[in-house]
Amino acid sequence: MLHAPESPLHGLWDTWLFPAEDGYHLYYLKRDLRDMFAKTIAHATSPDLVHWTAVRDALHANSSTAWDSGWFMTGMVVRHHDGRYYMFYGSMVDQVQRIGVAISEDLYHWQKHPYPVMEARAPFYETDPRRSPNHEVAWRDPCVIYDAETACYYAFICARVPNGSYSGGGCIAVCRSKDLLAWETLPPAFISDEYVCMEVPDVFKLNGRYYLMFSTARWFDSYYTTADPNCVNGTFYLVSDNLLHGWQRPADNIVIASRESRLDSYVGRSVAHPKDGTRLFYQHMVRRKHPNDIASFGAVKQLSTAPNGALRVVARRDVDPFTQLLASYTPYSLGGAWRAEGERLCAEAESAALYLPYQAEAALIEVRLTFGSTGGIGGLIVGYGSAAAQGLCIALNRPAAQLEVGLCGAEFGTLRRFPPIQARRTDLSAEAYTLRVLVRDHYVEIYLDDVLMIALSWAHLPYGGAGFYVEGTAVAFGEARFAALNF
């Protein structure tokens, strides 16, 4: 979406973002696509969260017998009170994961500490890879925060409890430190009967409560349930009134996720905005491709809470200044009745119909949909013609009460909407909604009333005809804005 390695031999994986006085610093696991794993931590910088420039790699795995001679695991950067920067990162050797640290004065040049600073220890945590369903000692992805009340740093870590079940036993381990080098192992903050691994924990306080995001997927052979069967692989959350205990899983704890066969969006993380203190949310978007997945850094968003405390990801407007309105072409329409009423486009159709007045590549699209009945389907089309006479249909399916994205195409002169690739259940009982769609390269982000609902990757570039869709109802499309991304 916004950043990936330039070389076709390299791929982006888990990311961590650090705001500094000179801009934003993005670190990520850089994979050699001829291998499965990463032995480099790459580095890019941005002044505005939109334009990214690759700079020198931050770290490389040791080629000797050092503790970090194995493949790297997800990290995090913390600024110490002495002004230096500490990058925590993991490595796995002989199926045992450990966490170490590198120290920098400037965020560009890093000096490794010679030994790991955190390791899984009995009796709280699994230490034998032979007893794990993954045949490894899970001890990775530290989230390090400072707690002013205790004047201590706490690390929250993906781990497992001893003798945990093969379909559960994942936990959030905790370590405590005064100086970021000497760490005391504490009991787990949370133990799950459903999750085998709770990857990349992210702990923060928002609107008076503590939240803990984590990522997981069913490929760990865990069969947890979610509030929406369309959303099983991705980022989820827990909530608590206390930092170290009392964590609860809400009935709907989905942050952003995809279907079981997909991994469109993973490793959702957050960081405080350096100026206004709002909580920035970021994740990487994954395109499944044999033999290795390809990923890109997604657009940065913001975390908020609903009145009931539910965690939501909402749109930011960082990319909006770097857009230019698209000129309309001679519209292509198929089915339905379409007419202009002032600045609104009004449509009515019994069966699937589309109206495409734009040709769009990388684009930002926003439109207000007002439905004329309680049923029916309305939405947007992007990339029409990129895959034969087909495109992506982003549809508010009111009878199914879900937002859907899937293919639609013409067969013998009749438009057909195919089963969705991805969907998200939501209340669609209101009369009007605003859709916001960001399209770049193979990646699509879809917001409903500014809330991120779906992050999707598609094998084809979704570039081509763009416009409106209606089926089984009347819809008025207003406040429409189709703009090209100029970056």
Of 163-172, 199-208, 291-300, 365-374, give the lowest mean pLDDT range. 291-300
Provide the pLDDT for residue 386: 78
Q: Which residues contact 159 (CB under 8 A, 6 or more apart)?
A: 120, 125, 126, 138, 139, 170, 171, 172, 173, 188
**Amino acid at position 344, single letter:** R
Whether 176 and 193 map to the same domain: the answer is yes
Q: What is the DSSP letter of 167?
A: T
pLDDT category of residue 291 using cuts at 50, 70 and 90: low
The predicted structure's pLDDT at residue 326 = 97
In a domain, 429, yes or no: yes
Pairing between β-strand 311-314 and β-strand 301-305 as defined by DSSP bridges: antiparallel
> Of 272, 298, 318, which residue is a domain's last?
318
Each residue of 136-174: pLDDT tens digit? 999 999 999 999 999 999 999 999 999 888 889 999 999
Share of the chain above pLDDT 70, in %: 99
Predicted pLDDT at 289? 66
Give yes or no: residues 34 and 77 share one domain.
Answer: yes
pLDDT digits (tens, 9 = 90+) for 431-486: 999 999 999 999 999 999 999 999 999 888 889 999 999 999 999 999 999 999 99
Q: 154 and 107, same structural domain? A: yes
Q: What are phi and psi of 218, to 5 degrees?
A: -80, -5
Is there a domain that residue 5 lies in? Answer: no
Residue 106 pLDDT more than 70? Answer: yes
- Give the domain CATH number at 425: 2.60.120.560
82-94 average pLDDT score: 96
Q: Distances from the Cα of 386 to the Cαs of 304, 355, 419, 421, 465, in angstroms?
A: 36, 16, 18, 16, 8
Q: Answer yes or no: is 307 within a domain.
A: yes
Mean pLDDT across the chain = 95
Q: Identify any residues that bridge with 24 across adjacent strands, giving them in sequence order.
A: 19, 46
372-416 pLDDT per residue, tens: 998 999 999 999 997 778 999 999 999 999 999 999 999 888 999
From residue 47, give the alpha-carbon distance in Å to each of 20, 52, 226, 233.
Answer: 10, 8, 38, 32
